[in-house]
A and B are shown apart, each in its own frame.
Chain A
Amino acid sequence: MNKGMRWGLLIFILPVLVWLLLLIVLPQVDMAVMAIRADNEWGEKGFSLANFRVFFSEPIYWRTFARTAVFSVLVTFLTFLITMPVAFYITKVVSSRFQGFLTVLTLLPFWVSELVRVYGWMILLRESGVINHFLIKSGILNKPVELLYNDATMVMGLVYTSMLFMLVPLLSVLENLDNNLIEAAYDLGGNVWSITTKIIIPYCLPGIVSGSIVVFMLTLGNYLTPNLMGGKNGLWFTEQIYNQFIASFNWNQGSAFGFLLLILSSAIIWIGLKLTHQSLGKVVQ
């Protein structure tokens, strides 16, 4: 509009540009460049797709990759199944006096570090853990069983870690869902099942999609939970990346893996958005 406004724009845009360019764009470009470089026969760095060839020729790599993707989708779906009734209960069923209190109570544990939460599960589940202690004391078992370090536990841990990111968007869309809609559907002869599938789920779709994207992304990129709770032979892809970087010190290979993970997460999120006819900008709001 006038000169003051233009100055404002400049002041606002500078730090943002510096942030996004130096810490997001250029590092990603650098990683992509690293991924397509490898030692050639003479031991010099040059353009090469060798890193990707390694990925496809070594079953351990692409199997871990596929396993990570499949488990992440599973975790996302389970998280939705578990949290949806809770979100519905808090926003629509419980008397409104307790609503605020229950909301705070469901969100509070997630402010605590993921590490502390995983640690809590470890001392509950491991061979010398609290659950085994009670099972033996009550005579159900006579020998402790290792409940940790298997895929089921790992999935449970990932679901536990992710619940918040599904709950928050679900709570907010359900909050906006007019009770009259449900009452009207009920009045018109709907039952619990038909109201849930025809009214509630379609209405909540934006919230479900945004929750799913975040949960999926965080699960895919998780390192702690699979590392500490998963089985020793069931690797997570982020562990492969970590190994390449820190253990093997093969940064080019690690970059290629990182690049593949980025492609995977972007691709699945894109497919999810397309299938549900949503857009990223809308979902983030």
Chain B
Amino acid sequence: MQTDLSVINVTKTFKDFTAVESVSFDVEKGRFFSILGPSGCGKTTLLRMISGFFEPTSGVIEINGKNMAGIPPNKRPVNLIFQNLALFPMMNVGQNIAFGLERKKEKRVVIRRKTAEILERVGLPGFEKKKVDQLSGGQRQRVAIARSLILEPAVLLLDEPLGALDLKLREQMKIELKTLQTQVGTTFVYITHDQSEALVMSDHVAVMNKGRFEQVDTPRNLYSKPLTPFVARFVGENNQWPARMTGINTIDGGKQASITTSEGLAFKAVMKAGIDPGEAVDLFLRPESIVLEPDPSIKTLNRFSIRVQSILFDGANSRLLALLPESGREIQISLPQTRQFDHIQPGSKVEAGWAPESGILFPAKPVTP
């Protein structure tokens, strides 16, 4: 597999602030790669270094195996879709799309043919004469992508292009973008703070925090096997529950940890290397891993009881906001809309349980004395 983009140990500092700290990754040809992180984590800085608007303080960026140091943005084989799209308001759709080819002094007939082709491809045939401000949000999106794709870049960089769209359109564009990327086969590097965008579209996702990569993995692994507490918290919902490791037992050849939560509830969880008995841990438990009113016959489940505080109805995403009677700790639990749990009301006392495989342990952050 050919590598289109290599970022090797790249660091960027502004005065005394380090925006990006020794980040490395490779993107293979034709992949959809996302960088996911909260705002201010340095992902835009990273993107601007790849597109050439910033020079890295140290480290190397290679595109198609060629070192990009000192090459200005207008000479790089990458194109950027800006957050606000940056469509030229003084030009119509056709002129916008033709802009890059005109700079390459391409022949007029070729430009016209290619413009028509690319508009066809993004589903806007015959839109050349339309003014930019006549377009809908989704159409603007597609024009911006067409404007870049017509230059056949090695890598297309996208800087949260869906951020300005409303929810419905965003959902639709997610699918459209993924389809388009599969069709054209161009390598996409997509940055976003929206985990659902990253998870739905990407082949690989890098989770970025405070200028560093926390984990680079497939969406499924990020969700089910987070490597750091940050990833566990940031990707998907999670209940974080402080506890203490009390012992290790061996079951069916695997190792299992016994833990006691700060309320004194004893649970079993999958073992995590590097934690010794007696150490403080954080248990991460997804809302959908907690089963309400579990079948009493299943022996392996961890069980506890909760008091329902309120019901957060949100269709298929509905939740219970529950309190532990022992400590008043708040826990979110998925509430499947199968009518089976219709009797649960605020104030009800309910049994809950979770399988030891679905809880993840991390060493608790050392408390600074």
User: For chain A, what secondary structure do more than half of its interface residues adopt (helix, strand, loop), or is it mixed?
Assistant: loop
- How long is the Cα–Cα vector from A1 to B72 in the complex, in angstroms? 10
- How long is the Cα–Cα vector from A100 to B53 in the complex, in angstroms? 42
What is the size, in residues, of chain A's interface with B at 8 Å between Cβ atoms?
3
Is A43 among interface residues, defined by CB-CB distance under 8 A? no
Range, interface on chain B: under 10
B residues less than 8 Å from A1 (CB atoms): 53
User: For chain B, what secondary structure do more than half of its interface residues adopt (helix, strand, loop), or is it mixed?
Assistant: loop
| Nearest B residue to A4, CB-CB | B72
B residues less than 8 Å from A2 (CB atoms): 72
What mask results when residues 224 to 238 of chain B are scored 1 for a CB within 8 Å of chain A, else 0?
A: 000000000000000
| Nearest A residue to B70, CB-CB | A2
- How long is the Cα–Cα vector from A228 to B183 in the complex, in angstroms? 79
A residues less than 8 Å from B53 (CB atoms): 1
What mask results when residues 24 to 60 of chain B are scored 1 for a CB within 8 Å of chain A, else 0?
A: 0000000000000000000000000000010000000
B residues less than 8 Å from A4 (CB atoms): 72
- How long is the Cα–Cα vector from A2 to B72 in the complex, in angstroms? 8
A residues less than 8 Å from B72 (CB atoms): 2, 4
- How long is the Cα–Cα vector from A98 to B53 in the complex, in angstroms? 47
- How long is the Cα–Cα vector from A123 to B140 in the complex, in angstroms? 61
| Nearest A residue to B71, CB-CB | A2
- How long is the Cα–Cα vector from A207 to B72 in the complex, in angstroms? 43
What mask results when residues 1 to 43 of chain A are scored 1 for a CB within 8 Å of chain B, else 0?
A: 1101000000000000000000000000000000000000000
| Nearest B residue to A2, CB-CB | B72
- How long is the Cα–Cα vector from A4 to B72 in the complex, in angstroms? 10
- How long is the Cα–Cα vector from A211 to B263 in the complex, in angstroms? 68
- How long is the Cα–Cα vector from A172 to B7 in the complex, in angstroms? 50
| Nearest B residue to A5, CB-CB | B72
- Closest chain-B Cβ to A2's Cβ sits at a distance in Å of 6
Interface residue ranges of A56-84 to B (CB < 8 Å):
none
- Closest chain-A Cβ to B75's Cβ sits at a distance in Å of 11
| Nearest B residue to A3, CB-CB | B72
Interface residue ranges of B71-123 to A (CB < 8 Å):
72
- Closest chain-A Cβ to B230's Cβ sits at a distance in Å of 33
- Closest chain-A Cβ to B49's Cβ sits at a distance in Å of 13
- Closest chain-B Cβ to A83's Cβ sits at a distance in Å of 35
- How long is the Cα–Cα vector from A2 to B53 in the complex, in angstroms? 10
- Closest chain-B Cβ to A151's Cβ sits at a distance in Å of 53
- How long is the Cα–Cα vector from A4 to B53 in the complex, in angstroms? 13
- How long is the Cα–Cα vector from A4 to B70 in the complex, in angstroms? 12
- How long is the Cα–Cα vector from A60 to B261 in the complex, in angstroms? 94
| Nearest A residue to B72, CB-CB | A2
- Closest chain-A Cβ to B106's Cβ sits at a distance in Å of 23
- How long is the Cα–Cα vector from A4 to B73 in the complex, in angstroms? 12
- How long is the Cα–Cα vector from A4 to B71 in the complex, in angstroms? 12
- How long is the Cα–Cα vector from A1 to B54 in the complex, in angstroms? 8
- Closest chain-A Cβ to B69's Cβ sits at a distance in Å of 12
- How long is the Cα–Cα vector from A10 to B53 in the complex, in angstroms? 21
- Closest chain-A Cβ to B70's Cβ sits at a distance in Å of 8
- Closest chain-B Cβ to A1's Cβ sits at a distance in Å of 8
| Nearest A residue to B55, CB-CB | A1
Interface residue ranges of B217-273 to A (CB < 8 Å):
none
- How long is the Cα–Cα vector from A50 to B53 in the complex, in angstroms? 61
- How long is the Cα–Cα vector from A268 to B168 in the complex, in angstroms? 59
- Closest chain-B Cβ to A270's Cβ sits at a distance in Å of 34
- Closest chain-B Cβ to A7's Cβ sits at a distance in Å of 13
- How long is the Cα–Cα vector from A81 to B343 in the complex, in angstroms? 71
- How long is the Cα–Cα vector from A62 to B306 in the complex, in angstroms? 90
- Closest chain-A Cβ to B139's Cβ sits at a distance in Å of 31
- How long is the Cα–Cα vector from A4 to B74 in the complex, in angstroms? 12
- How long is the Cα–Cα vector from A220 to B332 in the complex, in angstroms? 73
- How long is the Cα–Cα vector from A74 to B53 in the complex, in angstroms? 54
- Closest chain-B Cβ to A113's Cβ sits at a distance in Å of 35
- How long is the Cα–Cα vector from A228 to B357 in the complex, in angstroms? 97
- How long is the Cα–Cα vector from A1 to B53 in the complex, in angstroms? 8
| Nearest A residue to B74, CB-CB | A4
- Closest chain-B Cβ to A223's Cβ sits at a distance in Å of 43
What mask results when residues 276 to 293 of chain B are scored 1 for a CB within 8 Å of chain A, else 0?
A: 000000000000000000
| Nearest A residue to B54, CB-CB | A1
Q: List 3 A-B contacts (CB under 8 A).
A: A1-B53, A2-B72, A4-B72
* 3 A-B pairs with the lowest CB-CB distances in the bound complex, closest first: A2-B72, A4-B72, A1-B53
